[in-house]
Amino acid sequence: MSSDPRILVVAPDDDLIGPLCKGLDALGWRTVTARSLAAAVQVLIDWPLETVILDGRMPGAEDGIAAMRQTVAPRRLPVLAIGPETALWAPGSAEITMTQPPHAAQAALRLEHLARSAIAEEEVVLREATFAARGQPLPVPEPDDAPLRVLAAGKPDRHFLALSNALAERGCEVVAAPTPYTAFDYLHERPFDAAVLWGGEDHAPALSIASGMKRNTRLYHIPAVLYLRGAAEINLAELYNRGFADVAAADTPEDETAERVSALARAHRRHLAIRKALESARGSGLTDPATGLFTPPLFASHLARVAEGARLRRRPLSIAVLRVADTEPVAEARKDGWLDRALPQIGAMVSRLIRTEDTAARLSADVFALALPATRGPSARIAADRIAAVIGCTAFDAGPDRSPFVVEFEVGVAEIQPGESPAALLERASADVRRPA
């Protein structure tokens, strides 16, 4: 694990945020603390930190967010602001506002999502520039301006009904589902931006819905919020590890809980818009027609821009190269053209297995490359090996009267070094190609 801190904590003392910092440090999210906004700006100059946790009680805290973001531009800097004062801030001042510190496991999940979303938004800007420079601007998806759609699943209860009313007052379209069966019917019939699950006297229905959502690739990213009857009924760390985006007790003011649900719903919708913008590149005439992946010239052009962006934003960048291993089954499939028939499917699998912000290219018939922004070398190797392992579990048609064949990859990874050119980085990754252990 890297020893570098990831989070800047801006607080005059440890009274409010200190326990949260200890919990985050224990989870591997190292923090560094600044006791003033001026000190925070200096820390951001010295350290390429990913996110900020801000004590909203500090004088000028809301205005200080703009100063911190300007310091790190063009890198995006998500902010989690905590304190009673944040309830009065203008919408959008910080990505997340909470009147009280969250559980450390919850904060880690939210901060991870914010950090990845920031990187994806940076990639949107870079990708738009790459395509515009080649005379084919990316189509910009129309933003969804419909009311936020929230599923409220559980038996009617006065607290639950009050929360539904608070969400409706914020312009959300709330759909009530009294049972897990009706909840899943609604989830499969229409899109939702968030789901609120009532814990009530029995948590089992809510846990069942959440587990089912996490097993479904289409529903996986919809934030699920558990609304508990009391404050200390169940292990919070266990709930967050199960995939809940937030947990609220019924003694939390309905307005605050509704604002937290709305913020999660807005973030989810924004994530979908970012993903749609990035995926729109696949339908352009510049990508490989068989797989939708970047062609070698397009990848080289974009990699240069990504590398420059990594330097300006002080983020790491890694390249992974995956080459189809020349095993005996592959050699046989290559003879009769069955490998050529499988490669478009393999390329499509590569494109689905990468993260939103990653860029995949087809360098030659059976060689693929991945540009992984904000990723260290060891993490890039884990990601590439995972993709190779998933594809290695797929059987491809080898023709009549022949057993299907599987494809193994040889993987090479390199992390960009100071002053290194994108071409040299790609050469090092190619030279590193070897069979996974």
Who has greater pLDDT, 379 or 212?
A: 379
Say whether pLDDT at 264 is over 80: yes
Whole-number Å distance between alpha carbons of 107 and 23: 9
Burial 236-272 (b: 16+ CB within 10 A, else e): beebbeeebbbbbbbebebebbbbbbbbbbbbbbbbb
The pLDDT, as a whole number, for residue 1 is 39
Q: In what order do the strands lie in the sheet with 409-415?
A: 359-364, 367-373, 317-324, 409-415
Say whether pLDDT at 239 is over 80: no
User: Average pLDDT, stretch 412-436?
Assistant: 92
pLDDT 10s digits, 50-67: 999 999 999 999 999 999
Please name the residue ranges forming H helices in 286-400. Answer: 296-313, 328-335, 338-353, 377-392
pLDDT 10s digits, 68-103: 999 999 999 999 999 999 988 887 889 988 888 988
Q: Report residue 3's pLDDT band, with 50, 70 and 90 as the boundaries.
A: low
The pLDDT, as a whole number, for residue 90 is 86
Say whether pLDDT at 27 is over 80: yes
Name the percent of the chain lying above pLDDT 70: 94
User: Average pLDDT, stretch 320-338?
Assistant: 92
Name the percent of the chain lying above pLDDT 90: 59
Query: What are the helix and strand counts (H, E) for the chain?
Result: 14, 14
23-27, 112-116, 201-205: which range is least confident on average?
Answer: 201-205
Model pTM score: 0.83
Q: Inter-axis angle of helices 338-353 and 328-335, to 10 degrees?
A: 120
Q: Report residue 319's pLDDT band, with 50, 70 and 90 as the boundaries.
A: very high
Q: Report residue 143's pLDDT band, with 50, 70 and 90 as the boundaries.
A: low
Say whether pLDDT at 378 is over 70: yes
pLDDT 10s digits, 168-203: 999 999 999 988 899 999 999 999 999 999 876 667
User: Average pLDDT, stretch 209-213?
Assistant: 86
The pLDDT, as a whole number, for residue 283 is 67
pLDDT 10s digits, 245-263: 888 877 778 888 898 899 8
